[in-house]
Amino acid sequence: MSALQELVTRIASCPNCDLCKTRTRAVPGEGPENAEIMLVGEGPGYHEDQQGRPFVGAAGRLLEELLGSVGLKRTDVYITNVVKCRPPQNRDPLPVEIDACRTYLERQIELIRPLLIITLGRYSLAWFFPRDTISRVHGHIRERDGIHFLHMYHPAAALHGGLRAVIEQEFRKIPEALSKARQTAAPAPPEPAVEQMRLFK
């Protein structure tokens, strides 16, 4: 079992906040362990809570359509959320709930090492850049600590807030953002020689 799989197992039985009392299933996230792109949303909704998978309802179908518009499949990216369990009645996550999940998202980023993180919505933006507002920075590309970020409205805003055209435009920036991230990516550390590996056995 990989370190990421172990983390997923730990999240599935997490007792760190009161959301564990009301969830059906935790939703750790899913995607390739070496994904170049990580999408970070707010938290699971009803359908995600039932299935234990992120973005499987109407917003998930739209997300897959938007990814397809730039030549990506769901299986190309890692998808997760700021909080891993559904807040009751889909209310906003509380600060204590976000803090309870903080180490999980930090560890996912550490293990996957994405080149590009796409923040979906204001809670995801605030997790990384607490002083910014989504209305001001949506569509922006920036870099911090070796990772590029692209900020977007949440796909649910296209379904309920009339922002579909804006979100479609934001998704069209993914190839540019990923190209920039690849150009500045640090090279992977070299594999140790066989002789060196024997020293540690």
132-143: per-residue pLDDT in tens? 999 999 999 999
Residue type, 148: H
Of the two residues 68 and 162, the one the predictor is more confident about is 68
The band of 191, judged by pLDDT with boundaries at 50, 70 and 90, is low
| pLDDT tens string 146-166 | 999 999 999 888 888 789 999
Residue pair 85/44 in contact (Cβ under 8 Å)? The answer is yes
* Residue 33, C-beta contacts closer than 8 angstroms, at least 6 positions apart: 2, 4, 78, 111, 112
Q: What are phi and psi of 172, to 5 degrees?
A: -65, -10
The CATH number that applies at residue 164 is 3.40.470.10
Confidence at residue 73, expressed as pLDDT on a 0 to 100 scale: 96
Distance of CA 93 to the CA centre of its chain: 16
Residue 9 falls within a domain, yes or no?
Answer: no
Q: What is the pLDDT of residue 200?
A: 37
Q: Kindly give the pairing relationship between strand 141-144 and strand 147-152.
A: antiparallel
What range defines the domain where residue 95 resides? Answer: 20-183
Mean pLDDT to the nearest integer, 66-82? 97
Query: Average of pLDDT values for 69-91?
Result: 96
Is 7 within a domain? no
- Chain-wide mean pLDDT for the chain? 92
Residue 17 has pLDDT above 90, yes or no: yes
Residue 133 lies in a domain: yes
Q: For the chain, how many residues are written?
A: 201
Residue 53 lies inside a defined structural domain of this protein: yes
51 pLDDT above the threshold of 60? yes
Give domain status of residue 70, yes or no.
yes
55-86 burial: b if 16+ Cβ within 10 Å, else e: bbbebbebbbebbeeeebebeebbbbbbbbbb
Residue 12 inside a domain? The answer is no
β-bridge partners, 65: none
The phi and psi torsions of 74 (rounded to 5 degrees) equal: -55, -40
- pLDDT above 60 (res 193): no
In a domain, 189, yes or no: no
The pLDDT confidence band at residue 50, using thresholds 50, 70 and 90, is very high
Residues 6+ apart with CB under 8 A from 78: 29, 30, 31, 32, 33, 35, 37, 38, 39, 108, 112, 114
Q: Number of folded domains in the chain?
A: 1
Q: Is residue 4 part of a domain?
A: no
User: Is 104 within 8 Å of 16 (Cβ atoms)?
Assistant: no
